[in-house]
Amino acid sequence: MYEVWKLCWTNLKHKKVQNSFIAIIIMLAALLLSTAVSVLNNTNRMYESMHDQSRGAHQILQLENGIHDPVQVHTWWEEQSGVTVSDLMRYRYLSSMSHAGEEILNVDLFMMDAPEGPFPVDRLQFVEGEEQSTPEAGTAWIPTSLAYSNDIHVGDSVEFKTDEGVIRLKVAAVVVDISYCSPFATSGRIWLNHEDYTKHMTLLPGEDKYMTGLRFEDYSQQRAYWERFEQYLGTPYLESVKDFESLSSYYMIANQVISFVMIFLAVVMICVALYTLGFTIADAILSNYRTIGIIKSVGLSSRKVIMAYVAQYTFLALVSVIPGMLVSNILSGTIVAGSMAYLNTGSSGMNDLLSVAGVWTSVGVVAVIFLSALLFANKARHVEPAQAVRYGMSEKEYSHQSGGTGTWKRKLLQLDTLPTSMIIGLRSVTKNIRGSLLIVLISTLSTAVLVFGFLFVYSIASIHGTIAKWGYDSADLSIRIDNPAKMTFAQLQEEVLSDPRVKNYSRYGDANAVVPIPMKDGAAVKQDTMGILLTVADGNYDQIGYENVDGRNPVSANEISVGVNVARTLGIQAGDTMDIYIEGVKHTLTVTGIYQAIANMSNTGRITADVIKTSNPDYGSAMNTTFMNLNEGTSTDSFVKELQERYGSVLGIASQASLVDEVFSQAVKIIVLPVSVMALLFIVITFVIIYSICRINMKKESRTYGIYKSIGMTSRQIRLSETTGILVVSGIGALVGIPLGLLGLPPLLNVILSDYGIVKVPLIMNGGGIASMIPLSVIAAGLGCWAASKSIQSASPRVLVVD
């Protein structure tokens, strides 16, 4: 065993730079993979921990249309063993909130009549303010999703516009409301004192709505409860229900996208690292062929020679993964802290994110390096002492080299049109095919990652340009009547919508619906149901920019367009018919189109107002939002400012760009850091690998460099020649990487986001930005070669020739 360790230590000692760069490659691969696994693991762990701590709801029932008796529904669930039920909470909707004189755009607020705490389900976690059983009169509790994004703190005043005027309340607490404070969500629960709710909310037009949360001891059994519940009702449950998957989806989506992309790229990086490891071990065996032959001739077994290489690279892996694991802990903690900030209570262990999964991932990397080194080092078994001593290589390899340069190589190097420096550089490239192929591979992958990373970040940052493909409208602006006593829709049409600057407009509302799902159970056919949220248009969907991935938008009272997850669940496509209960009334509608939408995981649909008006003629009065487009050349910002000055608090007006930024600005912040880190790591990997390859090759070619110097070439000319050859090879790899980054990697996002309702991620091409990414890997390759060739500068021709 002493001989093995002696050989191992000699290899480590005499090849410090080469071993150091191999260690860096292993460290970066471990860093990326451990970070991805830790982000995925800790996102789930943190959410589940907070969900358990808050006794979070698995389902939330919203009873808004009077189809079922709220008290009857609540009583039945309270009587079920194995289910914890919240109080039956009443609420009203508002869609206007202001802070410090600025209106907070694009919010849907549940103004809750807060019951006595602590709540049995969805227990509030107080981040700021004193924990009390109920808000004091004149105050409100607001969720972290509204507070953090709008810089609202305890003691601040907030205002809510209603049909009857403005409600002014002071913020008494900022709370983590586990079911309604996720990133990207526009809805939130505002908790009011019972007296304030009675004073302000009950005077508004309409009836109270009710909400109750259900928490199951065993969530997997919830379907059995629902079968008994609907048997009790005698009909399917026809009101709205939010399940655990939709409640948790917005917490998970950003980090799952990041993690899966990082895992894929980490696997690619590890494969490159293993290829580099194989290349390095093969070169080491070939370079030390005569030495290995001599060692074997004096009695050292092949197994011990192999174990010397295995021990060397396993030791490097052990040393390398430790800093990689530690840095990954910091990086994953930063990513999770940013994406899960709305769950941070200050005592939730945001910085203590070192996960067992990350440790085991690092152990796995070491195991893979061990097995790979064992596989690659097995070539030493075939070293024959006699051939090694005589030829310094195998007899077959010696015969191959003696045969001279291949025909295609000779033709390449005889091109008179090429400069001498280029020919010298290409000679080195063609002489070392394996190393050149590795350079092409790493340049291809590096360019693909850089192009894809820029494309992804730019597309999210510029999402307003593709917002219709994410399931939203693309209208120029939206107008909401906040004070019907001072402005009716007829007046809005006369005074605003008839303005010659307005190109077109449509009026929109929403409705809850239930879709029956036939399920086969043996010979019997059972009936399941799913709740979906409907967008209702009194106007033209196409004019306002709603898009479909298949088919078209509905235009008549017997048509519907559905989200991709609804179509997938029901197994339907454009042209089929479907039964749907809207506000308790059954309709049979023809599916005209299928669209993708990030909202509600695409469990949504689009209908015209005529569908509901067949059973509810007064529905139009509840449609309070109008989307409009302006004629070309009209400034949206100027138009919005003019209306705000003219109508003040009577109308809520916002441009499409501001609404999009309000929802997706958080996504940009979450995504930019990890994608930037991945791009930087691949640039570093490119530099390190190409430095290592060039250093190995230049050591082999030391005699050739001595000849070049002896005939008058300077060190600088030789270095430029070698760098030129590498730049050509790397440039070829970069050209291959462009289509891979543009066409090969984006489908990964489609796979990841499919369950969330996006089957084709909308990406925006930016030629200038993409072009700026392409040379980065080539520059890194050139710098790696230039740095590796520094040894040529200090060596004299006499020494090089002797070497």
The number of angstroms, rounded, from the C-alpha of 174 to the middle of its chain's C-alpha atoms is: 28
As a whole number of angstroms, the distance between CA 254 and CA 43 comes to 10
For the cut 90, the answer to whether the pLDDT of residue 120 exceeds it is: yes
* Amino acid in position 132: Q
Is residue 403 classed exposed, middle or buried when 0-12, 13-18 and 19+ CB atoms within 10 A define those classes?
A: exposed
Determine what percent of the chain falls in helix, strand and coil, rounding each to the nearest 5. 55, 20, 25
As a whole number of angstroms, the distance between CA 313 and CA 319 comes to 10
Q: What pLDDT is stored for residue 520 in this prediction?
A: 57
Average pLDDT for residues 126-150, to the nearest whole number?
A: 90
Among 797, 633, 610, CA closest to 710: 797
How many other CB atoms are found less than 10 A from the CB of residue 138? 13
Judge contact between 321 and 364, C-beta under 8 A: no
Q: Which residue has the tokens 């802990």?
A: 329
Average pLDDT for residues 779-784, to the nearest whole number?
A: 92
H helices of 462-588, where?
Answer: 489-492, 541-544, 564-570
Q: What are 274-290's pLDDT values in tens digits?
A: 877 787 777 777 666 66
As a whole number of angstroms, the distance between CA 267 and CA 276 comes to 14
Judge contact between 152 and 142, C-beta under 8 A: yes
- Checking phi first, is residue 349 left (phi over 0); if not, alpha (psi -120 to 50) or beta? left
Average pLDDT for residues 419-438, to the nearest whole number?
A: 74
b (16+ CB within 10 A) / e for 12-23? beebeebbebbb
As a whole number of angstroms, the distance between CA 489 and CA 455 comes to 43
Q: Which of 331-335, 430-434, 723-727 is predicted most confidently?
A: 723-727
Among 792, 776, 771, CA closest to 687: 776
For the cut 80, the answer to whether the pLDDT of residue 491 exceeds it is: yes
Q: pLDDT band at 384, cuts 50/70/90?
A: low
Share of the chain above pLDDT 70, in %: 86
Greater model confidence, 244 or 391: 244
Q: pLDDT band at 417, cuts 50/70/90?
A: low
pTM of the shown model? 0.79
CA angle in degrees (0–180, nearest 5) for 750-752-757: 70
For the cut 80, the answer to whether the pLDDT of residue 390 exceeds it is: no
For the cut 90, the answer to whether the pLDDT of residue 212 exceeds it is: yes
Average pLDDT for residues 117-124, to the nearest whole number?
A: 90
For the cut 60, the answer to whether the pLDDT of residue 396 exceeds it is: no
The number of angstroms, rounded, from the C-alpha of 4 to the middle of its chain's C-alpha atoms is: 47
Half-sphere exposure of 517 (CA within 13 A, CB side): 18
As a whole number of angstroms, the distance between CA 43 and CA 256 comes to 9
Q: What is the rounded average pLDDT for all residues in the chain?
A: 82
For the cut 60, the answer to whether the pLDDT of residue 135 exceeds it is: yes
Beta bridge pairs of residue 157: 170
Of 3-17, 123-137, 628-642, 706-720, the least confident:
3-17
Of 202-206, 288-292, 675-679, the least confident:
288-292
SS3 243: strand
Q: Helix 433-461 crosses helix 656-700 at what angle (to 10 degrees)?
A: 170
Structure tokens at 707: 């000849």
As a whole number of angstroms, the distance between CA 635 and CA 214 comes to 48
For the cut 90, the answer to whether the pLDDT of residue 465 exceeds it is: no
Of 228-237, 416-425, 595-604, the least confident:
416-425
Q: What are 325-374's pLDDT values in tens digits?
A: 888 888 887 777 777 778 877 654 444 445 676 778 888 888 888 888 88
Greater model confidence, 48 or 596: 596
Beta bridge pairs of residue 606: 535, 561
As a whole number of angstroms, the distance between CA 56 and CA 507 comes to 36
Judge contact between 297 and 385, C-beta under 8 A: yes
Q: What are 30-75's pLDDT values in tens digits?
A: 888 888 788 877 777 788 888 898 999 999 999 888 888 999 999 9
DSSP state of 599: G
Judge contact between 729 and 436, C-beta under 8 A: yes
Structure tokens at 191: 């908790």
As a whole number of angstroms, the distance between CA 59 and CA 214 comes to 5
For the cut 60, the answer to whether the pLDDT of residue 83 exceeds it is: yes
